[in-house]
Amino acid sequence: MTRIRLFATDLDGTLLRSDRSISPRTAAAMAAAQRAGIEVVWATARARHSVHEFAQSCGFRGKVVCANGAVLLDLATGEPEIVDTVAIDAESAVAAMTRIRALIPGVVFATVGATVSQFVAEPAYAALCAFTDHHRDPREMTVADVLPARSEPMVKIVARHPEVTGAELYRATAAAGVGGVELTHSGAPYMEMAAAGVSKASALARLCAVDGIDLAEVAAAGDATNDIAMLTWAGTALAPANARPEVLALADRVLASNDEDGVAEYLEELAAS
């Protein structure tokens, strides 16, 4: 059996429990795997500030793929250092938003800057938000009537609708075709866009190339649409029992659910082998 040298895991619905916590067992299993020489990488749609809070809660000091592959962080010092970003050019952003507005009138947008801390929302977008949507207080969001509002490169665009779910919005736009961006959905009430060709898989491939890790030595775990590229790419695809049906169908192995510490159980096996 090929030895696993890198293990990549999604956060929400996979590593995190439903209450958005990292259990003590999971924290211990990640640390044990790292001591055994296995690189543990988080791969998430989340931004730097919320990733940092989760890392502080469990002592994680590895690398993190953020914004669905557009940002790579290193937490080796305990602080989230940005190692690499892949931005969406302004022309492609404007074209994509214009196309989506024409397809589904009433869609509203927000953008995430390359520092992964600059979040700018249209007023109608902010009005639809709860804190848990972006780990940000909607009352404190920077708002702008016209997007993109700043010259700083964007790593992600999010789109939502007052009456259409994030999943429905993703399916409709994906079916119609939107050029210049990579569409995905993480199970959130909004749809997400990165630069064309950017995904969790593309970011992990860059990491593996630098570290000399073969694809067969990579295992990845995820539960949602934005994990499909990563699971299809990885040598070993894993999914928690609570994953979406199309994700479960891709899995080489189905783990116990996120609330049952399925990722921890798998990491414990790796560390002991």
> Which CATH number does the domain housing residue 65 bear?
3.40.50.1000
Is position 221 within any domain?
Answer: yes
User: How far is residue 190's CA from residue 165's CA, in Å, rounded to a whole number?
Assistant: 7
Last residue in a domain, options 141, 169, 195 = 195
Statement to judge: residues 235 and 254 lie in one domain: yes
pLDDT surpasses 90 at 2: no
Strands 81-85 vs 218-221: parallel, antiparallel or unpaired? unpaired
Q: For 205-238, how does the pLDDT look when each residue is reduced to its tens digit (9 = 90+)?
A: 999 999 999 999 999 999 999 999 999 999 999 9
φ/ψ bin of 13: left (φ > 0), alpha (ψ from -120 to 50), beta (otherwise)? left
One domain, residues 57 and 144: no
Three-state secondary structure call for residue 68? helix
Task: Tell me the pLDDT tens digit for each residue of 33-58.
Answer: 999 999 999 999 998 889 999 999 99
| Strand order across the 71-74 sheet | 81-85, 71-74, 63-66, 39-43, 6-9, 218-221, 236-240, 253-255
Query: Distance between alpha carbon 100 and the CA centroid of its chain, in Å?
Result: 22
**Domain boundary, last residue among 176, 195, 214:** 195
Beta strands 63-66; 71-74: pairing state? antiparallel
Averaged pLDDT, 239-268: 98
Helical (H) or strand (E) element with 155: strand 154-160
Number of domains in the chain: 2
Mark whether 17 and 70 lie in a shared domain. yes
* CATH number, domain containing residue 136: 3.30.1240.10
Instruction: Give dist(CA 69, CA 179) in Å, integer.
Output: 18
Q: What are phi and psi of 191, to 5 degrees?
A: -100, 150
Q: Are residues 15 and 61 in the same domain?
A: yes
Same domain as 183, residue 155: yes
189 in the same domain as 205 = no
Question: Do 137 and 262 fall within a single domain?
Answer: no
Pair 66, 161 in one domain = no
Same structural domain, 94 and 191: yes
**Does 1 reside within a domain?**
no
- pLDDT of residue 153 exceeding 90: no
Answer whether the bond into residue 153 is a cis peptide, omega within 30°. Answer: no
Q: Are residues 127 and 259 in the same domain?
A: no
* 125 lies in the same domain as 162: yes
- pLDDT at residue 180 above 80? yes
- Spatial distance between the Cα atoms of 145 and 135, rounded to a whole number of angstroms: 22
The whole domain housing 98 covers 90-195
In DSSP terms, 72 is beta-bridged to 65, 84
